[in-house]
């Protein structure tokens, strides 16, 4: 069976979690980057011989709408799927349920699910440094259990937390902005934005259809892209009550 990664990972934490889970399935045949705005995902056709690790971050307890749109262009054709919802120490809520519904509609067969930890993409002090060495061991071990399930021809669909209808999604108002005096117009943020919310003529500005994924903050070599300090402080205070302490990966087989 061929293992492929299908990943929406603006800041890298989701990608890392998927790679750790895929450790027993090396070598990875292909990585499909759902952040790649100009990719024609309708050309992505899987088969029943594929195992797909499909990993997305949890945006306010939901699958990012951009990832949903791109997954709905694919054809699963019976490919087995391992679902991964990555969250920054708060909760993944309805992310796995929504992801399962989308993939099932596209012909994937879901055999395992993971709620994995990674550093919060906005308030980075929460789950800082994760996935860490302990996470790596847990995820790789779970990957081996998935491999055993496949070897035993067990196609059962696990149960996991989540609700239908999904929780309402409220877009984040946290849109990073650059500094025109420091910006070198290198184009890194323009090329990397998953939704084309940054233009080459004014890369220090962000358009309203920004999805607050923080990819531009991650890739800017001048570190000029930042968030409104007052808004960031307010979000941090709000999250402090629910994001403190170490939470563990949740595994469903």
The answer to whether position 84 is within a domain reads: yes
Comparing CA positions, the residue from 49, 81, 34 lying closest to residue 211 is 34
Asked if 110 and 83 touch (Cβ cutoff 8 Å), the reply is: yes
The DSSP call for residue 25 is G
149 and 215 inside one domain: no
106 and 12 inside one domain: yes
150 and 233 inside one domain: no
Q: In 10 A of CB 126, how many CB atoms? A: 22
CA distance linking residue 23 with residue 34, whole number of Å: 21
pLDDT above 90 coverage of the chain, percent? 96
Task: Give the tens place of pLDDT for each residue, 79-112.
Answer: 999 999 999 999 999 999 999 999 999 999 999 9
Task: Give the tens place of pLDDT for each residue, 204-216.
Answer: 999 999 999 999 9
CA distance linking residue 34 with residue 208, whole number of Å: 21
Please tell me the pTM assigned to this model. 0.96
Phi, psi of 240 (to 5 degrees): -55, -35
Q: Which two tokens stand for residue 189?
A: 């943020």
pLDDT above 70 coverage of the chain, percent? 100
Q: To which H or E segment does residue 86 belong?
A: strand 80-87
CA distance linking residue 32 with residue 24, whole number of Å: 19
Phi, psi of 53 (to 5 degrees): -95, 110
Task: Give the tens place of pLDDT for each residue, 19-71.
Answer: 999 999 999 999 999 999 999 999 999 999 999 999 999 999 999 999 999 99
Q: Which two tokens stand for residue 65?
A: 């709408």
139 and 180 inside one domain: no
CA distance linking residue 176 with residue 117, whole number of Å: 23
Res 171 pLDDT > 90? no
223 and 130 inside one domain: no
Domain that holds residue 29: 2-165
- CATH label of the domain that carries residue 226: 3.30.70.20
Count of the separate structural domains present in the chain:
2
């Amino acid at each position: 069976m061929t293992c492929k990664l299908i990943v929406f990972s603006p800041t890298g934490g989701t990608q890392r979690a998927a790679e750790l889970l895929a450790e027993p399935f090396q070598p990875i045949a292909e990585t499909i980057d759902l952040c790649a705005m100009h990719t024609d995902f309708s050309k992505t056709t899987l088969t029943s011989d594929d195992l797909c690790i499909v990993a997305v971050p949890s945006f306010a307890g939901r699958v990012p709408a951009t990832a949903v749109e791109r997954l709905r262009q694919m054809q699963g054709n019976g490919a087995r799927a391992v679902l991964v919802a990555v969250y920054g120490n708060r909760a993944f809520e309805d992310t796995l349920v929504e992801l399962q519904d989308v993939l099932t509609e596209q012909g994937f067969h879901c055999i395992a699910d993971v709620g994995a930890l990674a550093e919060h993409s906005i308030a980075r002090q929460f789950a800082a440094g994760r996935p860490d060495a302990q996470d790596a061991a847990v995820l790789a071990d779970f990957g081996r259990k998935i491999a055993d399930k496949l070897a035993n021809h067990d196609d059962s669909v696990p149960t996991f937390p989540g609700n239908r209808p999904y929780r309402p999604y409220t877009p984040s108002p946290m849109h990073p902005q650059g500094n025109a005096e420091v910006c070198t117009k290198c184009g890194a943020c323009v090329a990397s934005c998953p939704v084309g919310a940054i233009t080459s003529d004014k890369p220090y500005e962000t358009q309203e259809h920004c999805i607050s994924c923080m990819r531009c903050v991650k890739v800017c070599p001048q570190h000029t892209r930042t968030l409104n300090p007052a808004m960031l402080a307010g979000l941090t205070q709000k999250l402090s009550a629910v994001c403190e302490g170490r939470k563990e990966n949740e595994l469903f087989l």
